[in-house]
Amino acid sequence: MEIRTRLDQLFSKYQPSRALTELKEERVGDLTEAVSERVNDGMQTDKAIDEAVNQIGDLDSLLKEVAEDSESQSTTGHNRQSESKTQHSSQSSVHVGKLHITDDQVTWGDHVLVDNDKEKVDLGSLVQVEGDHVSVANGLIDVNGDHVTVNGQEPERTIVTSLKLVNTQTFAVTDLANVAIDYRDAAVKLGAASGENIVVNEYMSRDNDRFHLRATRVGDTLTIQQGERPRLWPVHIRVEILLPTTLTGRVTVEAGNGSLEMSDFQSAIFLAAHATNGRVRIFHTGVERLDLTATNGAIKIDDLKSTITKIRADNGAVTLGRLTGKGSVDTVNGAIRVTDQIGDLHLNSRNGGVRVDGVDGQLTCIARNGGVRVKGLTGDGDIRAKNGRVSAEVTGNIKVQSHGNVSLEVPAGQSYQFDLRNEDGTVRAPRDAHFTLDDRHHKIGTVGENPAVTVIVDSRQGSVDIN
């Protein structure tokens, strides 16, 4: 049974309304993403749908509550709607049913869903995000900065410098196009080799030949895999993988239950890395392309040069500084922070705030649950926020779509044209603006002479303020 058909059956019990339609479309998107992840992991489609639907929890109670709110609002009539807007809408606050939006928070009844100042998202036991702290499934997965626990256990093995060097192997890179590295239970560090060969150093708390790496080369592909793991007595392992700067081609890294670090390395490789249950750190590095995925762990990158950088983090914050090249970041349950980006940037956060300070290029920013703050943008901007305040400094063309309050700051003396609208709340434009449309919820006009910048804002719920 398809996802939409399944939801149609659940929603058919209630009187159709705009609020229910929006809720259904949102749930269709959530379930589609959840089912896709499970199918990609090898699960049958029907089972994946069943499991994803079950994770929603008590949807009937939520549907009943939304339906009752919609029915209550529809029976009050136009006069009461106008009165309600007068009572509950102000320059910085919107109150629709149980939904309350202010400059700093989005609440449903007494429950705070999004707190912009605290960079907090609270979806109950399902997901909680506060700064660098992410808790999923009532603490089953907990990522707090560099600290990771899964079901109460600490799978991460950080870099331990006191371990003894027990094994060193070297590999020639002649005619080598692919290097596959797989350490499923160790701390992994990548760096630059002093010579022209790949060097692997293995450090262990207890030595045994069975624990040493296994390497094979077939044609132009070299595969390096972690050796056997003891079943009874644990062994702490860290591995240094030193790559020559002359290396080209593709390098893939799988790091499980341990931190992944890379520093002081420059090479024209395509690096594709995946870290599970551990932090990721990259410093002072240059590669041709970087594809990085982290599951249950925070990502921090500083001083990276890459033609294309793609980052995905599930359950962990992403912090980026001094990146050069075209970049994209996708997070599920984790905040995004970017400083000093040179190149176009695409950010997509689901359950976590986004903060940008310095982008020389085009910015696209999507936030499902969390506020968006943008400073130092020298290119055009496209910002979409589902639940959370948007504040941005405007120096180029900017388009904002939001379900919350929007505050834009334009430098003094900047000429621009604007199109500002919302459905609830107020719209405020500068006093020196020249209007072609000046309604309460929709204003079109210009500031200054010969405007070269366009500002477009569409806020479904919340105030719009530009100054």
Strand partners, 263: 283
DSSP H helices in 341-426: none
Contact 312, 330 (CB under 8 A): yes
Task: Reply yes or no on whether the pLDDT at 116 is more than 90.
Answer: no
Cβ atoms < 10 Å from Cβ of 87? 9
Q: Which of 39-48, 206-215, 261-270, 395-404 has the lowest mean pLDDT?
A: 39-48
Which tokens belong to 308? 């294309």
**Cβ-Cβ contacts under 8 Å for 45 (sequence gap 6 or more):** 35, 39
pLDDT-based confidence at residue 82 (cuts at 50, 70, 90): very low
pLDDT of residue 63: 65
pLDDT tens column, 342-377? 999 999 999 999 999 999 999 999 999 899 999 999
pLDDT of residue 237: 93
CA angle 379, 366, 460 (to 5 degrees): 105
pLDDT tens column, 243-269? 999 999 999 999 998 899 999 999 999
CA angle 359, 390, 387 (to 5 degrees): 125
pLDDT of residue 120: 63
Q: What is the mean pLDDT of residues 155-160?
A: 47
pLDDT-based confidence at residue 129 (cuts at 50, 70, 90): confident
Task: Reply yes or no on whether the pLDDT at 157 is more than 50.
Answer: no
pLDDT-based confidence at residue 229 (cuts at 50, 70, 90): confident
> Torsions phi, psi of 31, nearest 5?
-70, -40
Q: Which residue has the higher pLDDT, 119 or 458?
A: 458
Strand partners, 457: 400, 420
pLDDT of residue 251: 98
CA angle 426, 431, 435 (to 5 degrees): 75
Q: Which residue has the higher pLDDT, 370 or 136?
A: 370
Contact 306, 284 (CB under 8 A): no
Burial of 43 (0-12, 13-18, 19+ CB in 10 A): middle
For a pLDDT cut of 70, what percent of the chain falls above it?
Answer: 74
Task: Reply yes or no on whether the pLDDT at 88 is more than 60.
Answer: no
pLDDT of residue 89: 44
Q: Which of 84-93, 149-158, 236-245 has the lowest mean pLDDT?
A: 84-93
pLDDT of residue 17: 73
Element (H, E) at 66: helix 59-75
Task: Reply yes or no on whether the pLDDT at 75 is more than 60.
Answer: no
| pTM attached to this predicted model | 0.70
pLDDT of residue 65: 64
Q: Which of 79-83, 184-188, 413-417, 459-463 has the lowest mean pLDDT?
A: 79-83
pLDDT of residue 158: 45
pLDDT of residue 74: 52
Q: Is 4 left (phi over 0), alpha (psi -120 to 50) or beta?
A: alpha
Q: Which residue has the higher pLDDT, 425 or 207?
A: 207
pLDDT of residue 387: 85
Task: Reply yes or no on whether the pLDDT at 438 is more than 90.
Answer: yes
pLDDT-based confidence at residue 16 (cuts at 50, 70, 90): confident
Mean pLDDT score across all residues of the chain: 84
**Cβ-Cβ contacts under 8 Å for 446 (sequence gap 6 or more):** 415, 416, 417, 418, 433, 434
pLDDT tens column, 296-332? 999 999 999 999 999 999 999 999 999 999 999 999 9
Strand partners, 262: 190, 282
pLDDT of residue 15: 73
> Cα–Cα distance between 299 and 295 in angstroms, integer?
10
Strand partners, 357: 339, 375
> Cα–Cα distance between 158 and 246 in angstroms, integer?
29
DSSP 8-state class, residue 413: T
Contact 398, 356 (CB under 8 A): no
DSSP 8-state class, residue 211: G
pLDDT of residue 192: 97
What radius of gyration do the chain's Cα atoms show?
A: 26
pLDDT of residue 80: 40
pLDDT of residue 113: 61
**Cβ-Cβ contacts under 8 Å for 336 (sequence gap 6 or more):** 317, 318, 320, 329, 347, 349, 352, 353, 354, 355
Element (H, E) at 160: none
pLDDT of residue 117: 63
Task: Reply yes or no on whether the pLDDT at 382 is more than 60.
Answer: yes
3-state secondary structure of 353: coil
pLDDT tens column, 32-48? 767 777 776 778 787 87
pLDDT-based confidence at residue 341 (cuts at 50, 70, 90): very high
Q: Which residue has the higher pLDDT, 52 or 260?
A: 260
Element (H, E) at 49: helix 45-56
Task: Reply yes or no on whether the pLDDT at 68 is more than 70.
Answer: no
